[in-house]
Amino acid sequence: MNKISVIGLDLAKNVFQVHGIDIDGEIVVRKQLKRPQLHQFFARLEPCLIGMEACGGAHYWSRELTGLGHTVRVMAPVFVKPYLKTNKNDRNDAEAICEAVQRPSMRFVQPKTPEQQAVLHLHHGRRLLVRQRVALNNHMRGVLSEYGIVLPQGGKVISRRLPALLEDANNALPMLARHLLAELKEEYDQLIERIEHIEARIKAWHANNSVSQRLASIPGIGILTATALAATVGQGQDFSNGRQLAAYLGLVPRQASSGGKARLLGISKRGDGYLRGLLIHGARAVIYHIQRRLRAGQPGGNPWVEQLLLHRHPNKVAVALANKMARIAWVLLVRNETWCPAHPV
């Protein structure tokens, strides 16, 4: 058998597809491997280039196969799709991955460390619980509104007002509805407690991570955004400049240009939507405080944002500011510095 130089590995939960070629591009191996066989198969191979898509388990297998001496490259599935020649199945996917990983212009995903993944899992777990909390809050409000009880807006209103409503015998709540709301309230309080526990772990990691602390020095970037950015981007070495980081986060315009005529559309919204959302929410908070100071007759503190607000909708200004925050974050990461108002960015 000829020596394998490049392998396309289609990852799955239990059955993996391998497509290997030699230095001349001839197919050497094309087979399925069950999960217990995968490590043994690559342990027997001489070091080669392995390509895989960025999907569930990709970072784990990247670390494992790198430890066996192989060169592993992880790619976004959207960049592999153009190399799929025919119908989509595991066999053809592995061949497309093998083809894509050899392209000189291919963009690769930097594998994350177990610590980075753990921090991001804390974030995703928190986001899941927050969604459940919001859904439960809305459901309890919906039940109350069916009996003529409409509470003011605010996340803490339910916790503060519901116990008294359940004890009030003069309202129109039937006993069955009271029992249901009491059980939902108990679950709601447990969700709040679990969210607080996760946030405490995130804050503890932030307190011991210098990268996250430097990022948190940027106005509009708090602990949640700083820890998510540090766990996702690391030291920022995968990006040549700040604009590449902003593009990775989907904070740059889409293009529909043809015939020498450039046409820019809304932001691309590619990449990490969670991190992009955190940056935009942080930018909105900065804009809110600037507007509040301006209404009070005080200096806004950010002439660039103030000038944009004169001509653009606050939502567009928030996206522009989030883009700038991402660029500043990249500069601080690669220069190992902390932000200051006079920073030459």
pLDDT score recorded for residue 253: 76
Q: Say which residues have a Cβ less than 8 Å from residue 226's Cβ, sequence separation at least 6.
A: 206, 212, 213, 215, 216
Q: Encoding tokens for residue 278?
A: 């955190």
pTM of the model: 0.87
Compute the distance between CA of residue 306 and CA of residue 55 in angstroms, rounded to an integer.
Answer: 42
Task: Give 128-170 pLDDT, tens digit per residue.
Answer: 999 999 999 999 999 999 999 999 988 889 989 999 999 988 8
Owner of token pair 């950015």: 229
Q: Encoding tokens for residue 286?
A: 């900065």
Q: Which residues pair with 9 in a beta bridge?
A: 18, 52
Compute the distance between CA of residue 91 and CA of residue 31 in angstroms, rounded to an integer.
Answer: 8
Q: Which of helix, strand or coil describes residue 188? A: helix
Task: Give 226-278 pLDDT, tens digit per residue.
Answer: 999 999 998 888 888 999 899 889 888 776 666 666 666 667 777 788 999 99
What amino acid is encoded at 47 in this protein?
Answer: P
Quickly count: other Cβ atoms within 10 Å of residue 169's Cβ. Answer: 7
pLDDT score recorded for residue 344: 40
pLDDT score recorded for residue 269: 72
Average pLDDT on 21-30 reads: 92
Is the CB of residue 50 less than 8 Å from the CB of residue 70? yes
Task: Give 299-334 pLDDT, tens digit per residue.
Answer: 888 899 999 998 899 999 999 999 999 999 999 999
Is the CB of residue 202 less than 8 Å from the CB of residue 196? no
**Proportion of the chain in helix, strand, coil states, percent, rounded to 5:** 55, 10, 35
Is the CB of residue 50 less than 8 Å from the CB of residue 28? no
Residues 6-100, CATH architecture: 2-Layer Sandwich (3.30)
Q: Encoding tokens for residue 3?
A: 């020596």
Spans of all domains in the chain: 6-100, 114-207, 210-255+266-335
Residue 18 vs residues 4, 78, 92, 105, 336: alpha-carbon distances, Å: 11, 20, 10, 23, 41
Is the CB of residue 158 less than 8 Å from the CB of residue 142? no
pLDDT score recorded for residue 272: 83
Q: Angle formed by the axes of helices 114-145 and 157-167, to 10°?
A: 40
Taken in order 304, 328, 276, 283, is the CA torsion positive or negative? Answer: negative
